[in-house]
Chain A
C-alpha cells in the first residue's frame, strides 16, 4: 500500500474526530474525540516515518502517546470533580467559569 492511503485515512479520522467535538456535548465523549484526533496525528507521523525510512517519527508518536495519556488523566480528573460538585456534565451548561 502506498503511503498516500495512510495519509488520506489519517485525515479522514482527524475530520471525524473534529466533527465529533463539534457535535457532542458530553465532556467524556469530547475527550474520546480528542483521542481520535491525536491518534490520527500518530498514524500520519508513523506513515511519514516509514516514507522517509528512519525511526524518528516513531519517537515523536510515542511522545504524543504520553501527552495523550496525561491529557486523559487530567481531563478525567476534571470530569470526576465536576460530577462530585453535582454540576451538569454538559459543555453548554458549563460555559461559566464560576464554580
Chain B
C-alpha cells in the first residue's frame, strides 16, 4: 500500500515537474506546479511529517500559487521559439542529465548505511504540529524570529518594487527601486519616455 502510494505520488511529482518545464503557456506551468506540490505533500505524509505536508498545501499550493496565478494573468504571454544560443534546447537537457548522474553517484557512493532502510520506528507524535511547535519555539527560537524578520523585509521590498508611484511629485528620490520612474500611462509631454523599450 505504501509502495503504491509512493509511486503514484512520485509519478505525480515528476510529471508535474516535467510539465512546468515543457509547457509553453506559463499558466499551464503554474497548474503543473500545483500538481507537483500536492504530490510532494503526499510524499511528506508518507515520511510521517504531517505538519510539513499541511504547510506545503496551505502555504505553497494555496498562497504562493495564487500569487503566481495573479501575476501570470497580469503579465501573460507565451515565449517565442527564438533560440539565442545555438543548440540551447539540446545542451540544456544534457546538462540536466549530468546533474542527475552526479547527484545519483553522490547518493549511491555515500557510506550512509541507513539509506537502504525505512528509517527507525518513530513514536506516533513524530512530526505533528505539537512536536514541531515545541521545537520551533524552544530550541529554534532564533531562526524562527529571523525568518519572521525576513518575511517582513520581503513584504516591504515587494511593495517598494511593484508599488505604483503616486502621480505628480511623489518624493520618489528616496526609494531605491525607482529613482526616475514615470508611469507608462502618465501624460508627460516633452519628457523622454523612460518607460520605452530599450531595443
B197 to chain A: which residues have CB within 8 Å?
86-88
Residues of B within 8 A of A55 (CB): 49, 126-127, 131-132, 135
Interface majority SS (helix, strand, loop, mixed), chain B: helix
With an 8 Å Cβ cutoff, the count of chain B residues facing the other chain is 93
Least Cβ–Cβ distance between B12 and chain A, in angstroms: 11
Determine how close the nearest CB of chain B comes to the CB of A38; give it in whole angstroms: 10
Bound complex: CA A23 to CA B158 (Å): 27
**What are the residues of chain A within 8 A of B77 when measuring CB–CB?**
26, 89
The majority secondary structure among interface residues of chain A is: helix
Do B127 and A3 touch across chains, with their CB atoms under 8 A apart? no
CB of B105, distance to nearest CB on chain A (Å): 10
Q: Is the CB of A66 within 8 A of B67?
A: no
> Which residues of A (36-92) have their CB < 8 Å from a CB of B?
36, 39, 42-43, 46-47, 49-53, 55-56, 58-59, 61-63, 65-74, 76-81, 83-90, 92
List the count of A-B residue pairs having beta carbons below 8 Å apart.
Answer: 250
For A81, list chain B residues within 8 Å (CB): 161-162, 177-178
By a beta-carbon cutoff of 8 Å, the part of chain B in contact with chain A is: 2-3, 6, 10, 13-14, 17-18, 20-21, 26, 29-30, 33, 36-37, 40, 43-44, 46-49, 51-52, 55-56, 59-60, 63-64, 67-68, 71-72, 74-75, 77, 79, 84, 88-89, 91-93, 95-97, 99-100, 103-104, 107, 112, 114-120, 122, 126-127, 131-132, 135-136, 140, 143, 147, 150-151, 153-155, 157-162, 177-178, 181, 183-184, 194-199
Spell out A's residues near B (CB within 8 Å).
Answer: 1-9, 11-20, 22-26, 28-29, 31-33, 35-36, 39, 42-43, 46-47, 49-53, 55-56, 58-59, 61-63, 65-74, 76-81, 83-90, 92-93, 96, 98-99
